[in-house]
Amino acid sequence: MSDKYQSFSQSPLGKLLVKNLGLPAPMKLERYAEGAPLVDGVVALGGRGRLAESLGGILSQLGVESTDAPAEGSRLKGLVFDATGLTSSDRLVALRDFFTPLMRSLATCPRVVVLGTPPELLEGGERVAQRALEGFTRSLGKEIGRGGTVQLVYVAEGAEASVASTLGFLLSPKSAYVSGQVVRIGATGSTDAPAVTDWTRPLAGKVALVTGASRGIGEQIARVLHRDGATVVGVDVPQAADGLVELMNELDGDWLTLDITAKDAPQRIAQHLKDKHGGVDVVVHNAGITRDKKLANMSEDRWESVIAVNLTAPERISRELLDQGVVNAHGSIVGVASIAGIAGNVGQTNYAASKAGVIGLVDSLKGELTDGITVNAVAPGFIITQMTAAVPFVTREVGQRLNAMSQGGLPVDVAETVAWYADPASSAVNGNVVRVCGQMMLGA
């Protein structure tokens, strides 16, 4: 499904109108293609902190070229600044000193990453300075333009060796529609990640369960996890069996048709995974429904069905798999939340409650998981699917433009974020909720 406004804005007449009327000018975003390099260009490094000396080596492992002395006139594909050494507010000027001279040197669709220390682990002036990084990165994300993204990664002391998978994701086109986000590494997760021998297939030999896998975002999650090497077990309702079986056959995967809200669904899923696969490494709670009405007109069935599918089922399935030991060491549980669960939405009190509850599930589980198992969530914004294509034109246009990139995202953008969480090298990434929304103007 194409963005007709985006196409028009890139035409000669469209460019003229956009310039003269101050209209949004959405850039065509670069997205990752299998076999392509993670970063098609040079990344400039700066800052003097705990990670500065190791950054070049980490990027080299990922096949990314970097420099701490960019040549005059060179075009840069990314910037990484180690701000962990900023211990007081007067030192924040180092951000201006590094970024200001380089901002006009950025190529199209550039990636910017600032590395800091989790403020909650600090005290005094150092805590103040590190918290200030959030305002800096979120504002720069709204300034950068040209399809660029800006992220803040808080790295706890002792987790310095666990940043590779996150840098690879955030510096590459895999994070095309992720911007203005704050990621925490090592605050609660395991820093004892298994070695990754092939960064292009980090899930080789792994088993991934994806609910709601037959179409839309679930289909793309299944495809991306398969691309990264996983054997995918797709789950969907019996009514979607034809599409599910066709997709899983294409991906050399496995399938299970059931209603995830059924009383015995968690046990059936656990038994299937144990009997046929010996366990599971990635669990993606993607299945979800909407039953929109303003609360004054909300029937009991509309309320209960949304909560049951979107929230209670992921709770019950996660608990059953964990209690039975079906989730393997260094496994990953990923919930699909929504920007509606963060910012709210008219006519979606049931849906927003369920998606905020998914974030609550992450908070609830993150401190109790063992064996390097992680739990995280993605919170999609306006993602272009068959469902959103049916939204009235004006509502759809507003939804697509109300973000720093002035466009909607694609299902693959959500899928790439899930795949980053699922990477065994991301075992220090735990308890995060990352919005896949082009830095939507609503919500935190």
CA distance 391 to 181: 27
DSSP string, 139-191: HHHHH--TT-EEEEEEE-TT-GGG-HHHHHHHTSGGGTT--SEEEEESSSS-S
Can you name the residues that pair with 81 across neighbouring β-strands?
Answer: 46, 114
Residues 64, 166 within the same domain:
yes
Question: pLDDT band at residue 14, thresholds of 50, 70 and 90?
Answer: confident
- Tokens for 272? 């299937």
Structural domain ending residue among the three candidates 185, 215, 250: 185
Structural domain ending residue among the three candidates 155, 185, 215: 185
Structural domain ending residue among the three candidates 131, 152, 185: 185
Residues 36, 181 within the same domain:
yes
Length of the chain: 444
3-state secondary structure (DSSP) of residue 96: helix
CA distance 346 to 34: 39
Is a pLDDT exceeding 60 seen at residue 444? no
CA distance 180 to 166: 15
Question: pLDDT band at residue 151, thresholds of 50, 70 and 90?
Answer: very high
DSSP class of residue 406?
Answer: S
Residues 66, 136 within the same domain:
yes
CA distance 326 to 266: 11
Q: Of 209, 196, 90, which Cα lies nearest the Cα of 424?
A: 196
Residue 99 domain flag: yes
Environment class of residue 158 by beta-carbon count within 10 Å: exposed (0-12), middle (13-18) or buried (19+)?
exposed
**Average pLDDT taken over every residue of the chain:** 93
Which has the higher per-residue pLDDT, 94 or 387? 94
Answer for the pair 94, 47: CB distance below 8 angstroms, yes or no.
yes
Give the model confidence (pLDDT) of 271-313 as tens digits.
Answer: 999 999 999 999 999 999 999 999 999 999 999 999 999 999 9
pLDDT for residue 189: 66
Mean pLDDT, range 29-48, rounded to an integer: 96
Residue 444 domain flag: no
Mean pLDDT, range 257-269, rounded to an integer: 98
Residues 346, 383 within the same domain:
yes
Residues 231, 161 within the same domain:
no
Residues 139, 256 within the same domain:
no
Residues 41, 154 within the same domain:
yes
The answer to whether 421 is a known catalytic residue is no
Residues 334, 222 within the same domain:
yes
Residues 158, 214 within the same domain:
no
pLDDT for residue 79: 98
Across 224-363, the runs of DSSP E, i.e. the strands, are 231-236, 254-257, 280-285, 327-336
Residue 5 domain flag: no
Residues 290, 338 within the same domain:
yes
The side-by-side arrangement of strands in the sheet containing 106-116 is 65-67, 42-47, 76-82, 106-116, 149-155, 181-185
pLDDT for residue 74: 92
Residues 125, 226 within the same domain:
no
Phi, psi of 140 (to 5 degrees): -65, -35
Residue 373 domain flag: yes
Which has the higher per-residue pLDDT, 7 or 409? 409
Can you name the residues that pair with 327 across neighbouring β-strands?
Answer: 280
Which one of 5, 154, 351, 421 is the catalytic residue? 351
Residues 287, 412 within the same domain:
yes
Alpha helices in 228-299 (DSSP H): 241-250, 265-277
Residue 26 domain flag: no
Percent of the chain with pLDDT over 90: 84
Answer for the pair 151, 137: CB distance below 8 angstroms, yes or no.
yes
- CATH number, domain with residue 179: 3.40.50.720
The C-alpha angle with vertex 217 and arms to 289 and 344, in degrees rounded to 5, equals 50
Q: How many domains is the chain partitioned into structurally?
A: 2
Give the model confidence (pLDDT) of 373-422 as tens digits.
Answer: 999 999 999 998 876 766 666 677 777 888 999 999 999 999 999 999 99
Residue 235 domain flag: yes
Answer for the pair 51, 57: CB distance below 8 angstroms, yes or no.
no
Q: What single-letter amino acid sits at 135?
A: G
Residue 246 domain flag: yes
CA distance 259 to 268: 11
Give the model confidence (pLDDT) of 42-83 as tens digits.
Answer: 999 999 999 999 999 999 999 999 999 999 889 999 999 999
Q: Which letter, b or e, does each residue of 233-266 get, where b requires 16 or more Cβ atoms within 10 Å of its Cβ?
A: bbbbbeebeeebbebbeebebbbbebbbbeeebb
Residue 237 domain flag: yes
Domain span at residue 307 reads: 207-436
